[in-house]
A = this chain, B = another copy of it.
Amino acid sequence: MMTRVSLKDIAQEIGVSNATVSLVLNGKEKEGRVSKELAERIRKKAVAMNYHPNAMARALRMGSSNTIGLIVTDSSNQFFAKLAFRIEEYADSLGYSVIVANSNENDAKMERMIQELKNRQVDGFIIIPTENGQGSINNLVNSKVPVVLLDRYFEEINTHHVLIDNFKTSRSATEFLINQGCKRIGLIIYKSELPHMQERRNGFAEALKRNGMYVPAFIKEINYQTIEENIQKAIDDLLTRIDPVDGILFASNSIAIHSLKYLMKRNINIPSDMKVIGFDENDAFDLSREPIPFVQQPIAEMGKLSVDLIIKQIEKEALNPTHIELLADLQNLPN
């Protein structure tokens, strides 16, 4: 590996101190009072020698790295993948790099990733927290590390967060099914104490109660780790009742995908036999027999807002916890 060009190399070539070179290359020649001609010579030399600053050395010295740590639960999930992509894209345009880590919905791994990213001197975190990751997040917030929670949050932790209004969104998704003529509507949702899931659940319940259609047994809670079996069982349950459901709301992207696969396997026709609506966009929703209606979260905007929030914290220090709740559209609705 060819040895890299350092400040010192430029300094030696020109015959000045590396302090001078550093000042010039950081545009501080005014304050540093370096003569125009010398500054110009240094800049030329830097380009000629193909100099690039060592980000590690700089981060070490400065105590900051112009880097944002992003922790998602599963970067291979299309929703999070797009979110990560947008975040990287926008942060890049503002001169920040992003390091993405996966928690796999595992609290311990999230904690480990936080530590790893801290070791890498990231200036702040955008995090999609895991179910019981409250402690880890709390530690971050208490130690004044810039944090933005994304897509999910904790009631007890008063920090910045960006997400959609899950209650309203879920309610209107449910209302959509009602308007489609469904009489018995089921919900497949993660068993989770996280408020964003609770709100999806509550929004669902609210819509049904308003219409006198609320049946607790139609709500099926499943585990992330055993999603496939749980979904099959849930659907079997919902279908083999005396009063089988005629509509289902899927409370997440993965739930929707797995459910649709199983419904297909069971030869249930959508929407003639069963009407459904899912969360978060997926190519599959557009390509199924009939387009599958879904809740489209404003991914680019969520990404942009969380980057803005994290950078504000990084650069200004003081900022009152901002809670952003965006509206989500329903897509692929039948006309």
A interface residue count range (under 10 / 10 to 19 / 20 to 34 / 35 or more) = 35 or more
B55 pairs with A121, CB closer than 8 A: yes
B99 pairs with A99, CB closer than 8 A: yes
B119 pairs with A52, CB closer than 8 A: yes
CB-defined contacts of A260 to chain B, threshold 8 Å: 287
A263 smallest CB distance to B (angstroms): 9
A283 to B85, CA, bound (A): 19
- Interface residue from B54, B89, B261 paired with A60 (Cβ < 8 Å): B54
- Interface residue from B101, B121, B287 paired with A264 (Cβ < 8 Å): B287
A85 pairs with B89, CB closer than 8 A: no
Residue of A99, A261, A283 with most partner-chain B CB within 10 A: A283
A interface residues with partner B (beta carbon < 8 Å): 1-2, 4, 52-57, 59-60, 65, 74-76, 78, 81-82, 84-85, 88-89, 97, 99-102, 115-116, 118-121, 143-145, 257, 260-261, 264, 282-284, 286-289
Instruction: Please list 19 pairs of residues, one from A and one from B, whose beta carbons are closer than 8 Å in the complex, sorted by A's number.
Output: A1-B143, A1-B145, A52-B118, A53-B119, A54-B119, A54-B121, A55-B121, A56-B56, A56-B65, A57-B60, A75-B75, A75-B84, A76-B85, A81-B81, A282-B283, A283-B283, A284-B284, A287-B288, A288-B289
